[in-house]
Amino acid sequence: MQAFTLPDFYLPHPARLNPNLERTRDHSAAWARKMGMLDSPKPGGGVVWTEAALEKMDYALMCAYTHPDCDGDALDLITDWYVWVFFFDDHFLEQFKYSRDLKGAKAYLDHLELFMTAGDASPPEPTNPAEEGLRDLWRRTVPSMSDGWRRRFTTVTHNLMVESMWELGNIELGRVANPIEYVQMRRRVGGAPWSAGLVEYAVGAEVPDAVAALRPMQLLSDTFSDAVHLRNDLFSYQREVEEEGENSNAVLVFERFLGCSTQQAADLVNELLTSRLHQFENTALVEVPALLAEHGVPPHEQLGVAAYVKGLQDWQSGGHEWHAVSSRYMNEEAATGTSVLGGPSGFGTSANRMFSPAATGLRRRRQQFTHRPFEPVGHLPLPDFPMPYAVRTSPHIDESRRYAVGWARDMGMFDDGVWDERRFVGFDFAHCAAMIHADASRDQLNLTSDWLAWGTYGDDYFPLVFGAARNIPAAKLCNERLSLFMPLDGGATPDPTNPIERGLRDLWRRTAGPMAVGARQEFRKAVEDMTESWVWEVFNQAQHRVPDPVDYIEMRRRTFGSDMTMSLNRLAHWSSVPREIYQTSVVREMETAAQDYACFTNDLFSYQKEVEYEGEVHNIVLVVENFLEVDRITARDVVAKLMTARMEQFGQIVENDLPAMFEDLDLDEEVRAILTRHADGLKEWMSGILEWHRKCVRYVEAELKRTRASAVPDLGTSALRVRGASAPGVFGVGRPGLAVSGAGLPGALRPGAPAGGPPVGAVPSTPVGAVPSGPAVTTPSAPVGAVPSGPAVTTPSAPVGAVPSGPVVTGPSTDVPSSGGPVVATVSAPEGKRAIGVPTGLGTSAVRVRPQEPKVSAR
């Protein structure tokens, strides 16, 4: 009996069959026999594969479906690759997964990798069929491909082999991965990126090196891979989980994480599969053509990319067809997709499933594009936040607060209507910097605070100037120009035309100047990735599209600036730590677990501000609401559970996996100390970000109402005129911006997210440049909600920048001058929890759209 009923799959492309199938069947059986795969012994007796078993699995049929247009010789070679990879998986399983022989497994994989040679290098003599097969396939494939393809294919083959240790480690611990970890690790170990490389060979066209590493092309590979793996997990659940005792399966991951039935988990996995296919289509039809045009890719290479995309589509439909008929999988009720949209075969059944909401993909598409912006959602009660790490604060915080105001003023951040000085003081970037970089010198802390201010300003600027106007071309041009202010040779830059350019020019000089050339290149790429993510948000806003969950989480790390933060940490030790160490699954998972915790912290605090007041779609709570079709409280609980899982994973890595990696790689004491300090820095980064949100007034409902009521409709229009855009109808604002970790260099938090830095961008609530006077409002317990700052910096022209008059508000850590008017509000916390005050963001257009008091929806 099957473990669950297979869902209706979204199959937009019909499967086709290569006419060379029969010759390839004969060839693949002979090749497997020649490589020794049909008499390779199991440790406990018997053989890994028999000829009958290989015939029954019929990998030639799979390749004939997944590569329907290639010639016979190409189909033979590709089929041999798949025979090899499935043999490797089963051989590794028999040799090591059952015995839990971790050391033997590592030695096996290390030796296997020696058969992927470069140039004229010769491989060693093979000692088993997996090595024999890889040596033969490498010799037959690589000479006909470019060096760029060989490097990319070597990387994905390495990942496929080496990350098998991750699966083995989880089996040893009896541990089921959390959903985020599973998707990104499955992409490395599952083999689909490797399959995408073979698609290039099959269609006779390589992805041009000039664009291969850029987001749209990488996203094609990622969405293709995720869909392939999720589909495989649905078909293979019974064999892997119930028969082989494996725990790396998406159905099991969802089942355990959500505490739901196997059938419910399977249906959710299918929903995610459909969402990833929709993301693939959106990327292929919208983003890739624009990318090719922007980079001037020649017509013949554009045709090659089109053939590659078509090859990936063929693989999806053909892969499903093979899963539906192969003896390797659970497929009693599988659709055998001869119809365009898929559905069960048999008289009278195709019409029912062919046009079901799931099979057509319409239900998932409807969910993504029918969100109502500015819906009154009310305050989102905050969950308990797991935080085992203490908060420390730099002794230079007051000096940095005074300095920060002057720097922002000098950069012109109070001149374009995006911010005014009062609002900037309330953001208190220095407070965030002082917690995430507690051991910094005064100059380092100032630099960290400035990066936070700059990233936050940029994240506010883009939605304000380009987002509401849906002006994607202007956003792209603005972003492209930013690279001119990061010269690799330290040379001259153009004259800046706005505060983003002016601030970046100053920060680049202060940060990148001491770096080696290679480090400078890597750092500039990290900054470019962050600023490009601002354009991604504008693009989604223009499409009115709630992001796909996987794409959102991965891009959120960029928009939050946390990817840039990690880059700065690495660059501080450019010459001490080998680059490949940072690419290990241990370090990568440690960093992304911390990043996700920080990003989700911001999204929970900013939910009402972003969804109700700004009309945003970039919030993990909303994304979960939309994907699971649940109310906001249920979505909040799922996000909180994800945060807990990521925090637990972070702790597991720091306590166990990191020390084990030190031993496995035989790292010297200096490298071990650097990586240990990096882990300690991430602890303070997470705790500091959480504490900043608790003390900041940005997200309190009373402050949101006050800001909306006093919004100035004309703010920001001068910035619009710089780029020729029309004034936006929505004052969108971002989240916090940058962060730095213990390396002594600033790290960027997402522009507009709180990853380590204070919030970004709120629309000024008073005339630009005016500093409100009057006492600030405080809570009895002090600084929660108090507007931070040390003495303000004054300007010659008075009251702009003048220290606000009125009583000084005293908090446990610092004295905070008031900025006038009730800037602070308090929030009633759930029983047993502390009240949290937070600064408000923007969303002033919501005032004009819906001036009435918000009502909490029934959701």
Helices (H), 145-214: 147-162, 164-173, 179-189, 192-203, 209-212
Give the range of the structural domain holding residue 146, as residue numbers without chain letter. Answer: 21-365
Q: Do 311 and 404 share a domain, yes or no?
A: no
Q: Do 324 and 407 share a domain, yes or no?
A: no
Characterise 381 by phi-psi region: left (phi > 0), alpha (psi -120 to 50), beta (else).
beta
388 within a domain of the structure (yes/no): no
Q: Do 280 and 402 share a domain, yes or no?
A: no
Tell me: pLDDT of 680 over 80.
yes
Question: Is residue 817 classed exposed, middle or buried when 0-12, 13-18 and 19+ CB atoms within 10 A define those classes?
Answer: buried
Q: What is the per-residue pLDDT across 199-211, written as a single tens digit (0 to 9) for each?
A: 999 999 999 999 9
Report CA-CA distances (Å) from 539 to 468, 548, 569. 11, 14, 30
Q: What is the per-residue pLDDT across 582-640, written as a single tens digit (0 to 9) for each?
A: 989 999 999 999 999 999 999 999 999 999 988 889 999 999 999 999 999 999 999 99
SS3 sequence, 797-855? CCCCCCCCCCCEEECCCCEEECCCCCCCCCCCCCCCCCCCCECCCCCCHHHHHCCCCCC
Q: What is the per-residue pLDDT across 4-36, written as a single tens digit (0 to 9) for each?
A: 999 999 998 889 999 999 999 999 999 999 999
Tell me: pLDDT of 658 over 70.
yes
Q: Is the dihedral of CA 237, 239, 243, 249 positive or negative?
A: negative
pLDDT class of 731 with cuts at 50, 70, 90: very low
Phi, psi values for residue 745, rounded to 5°: -115, 150
Q: Do 336 and 413 share a domain, yes or no?
A: no
116 within a domain of the structure (yes/no): yes
12 within a domain of the structure (yes/no): no
Q: Do 343 and 407 share a domain, yes or no?
A: no
6 within a domain of the structure (yes/no): no
Final residue of a structural domain among 350, 365, 380: 365
d(CA 202, CA 188): 22
pLDDT for residue 128: 94
d(CA 185, CA 649): 13
* Comparison of pLDDT for 419 and 268, the residue scoring more: 268
d(CA 527, CA 451): 11
384 within a domain of the structure (yes/no): no
Q: Do 418 and 361 share a domain, yes or no?
A: no
| CATH code, domain with 273 | 1.10.600.10
Q: Do 701 and 588 share a domain, yes or no?
A: yes
Final residue of a structural domain among 341, 365, 389: 365
Q: Do 408 and 339 share a domain, yes or no?
A: no
Q: Do 458 and 562 share a domain, yes or no?
A: yes
Average per-residue pLDDT in the chain? 80
Q: What is the per-residue pLDDT across 156-178, written as a single tens digit (0 to 9) for each?
A: 998 888 776 777 777 777 889 99
CB 743 within 8 A of CB 753: no
Question: What is the CA angle 338-342-348, rounded to 5?
Answer: 85
4 within a domain of the structure (yes/no): no
Q: Do 164 and 26 share a domain, yes or no?
A: yes
Q: Do 336 and 416 share a domain, yes or no?
A: no
For the CA atoms of 811, 447, 454, 618, what is the dihedral angle to 10 degrees? -70
CB 416 within 8 A of CB 728: no
382 within a domain of the structure (yes/no): no
Question: What is the CA angle 808-811-813, rounded to 5?
Answer: 120
d(CA 183, CA 187): 6
Question: Is residue 777 classed exposed, middle or buried when 0-12, 13-18 and 19+ CB atoms within 10 A define those classes?
Answer: buried
Q: How many CB atoms lie within 10 A of CB 642?
A: 20
Highest mean pLDDT among 310-324, 709-723, 792-806: 310-324
Closest CA to 479 of 294, 659, 663, 604: 294
575 within a domain of the structure (yes/no): yes
Report CA-CA distances (Å) from 784 to 691, 809, 823, 838. 10, 11, 12, 8
Tell me: pLDDT of 346 over 50.
no
Q: Do 429 and 284 share a domain, yes or no?
A: no
Final residue of a structural domain among 314, 349, 365: 365
Domains: count for the chain: 2
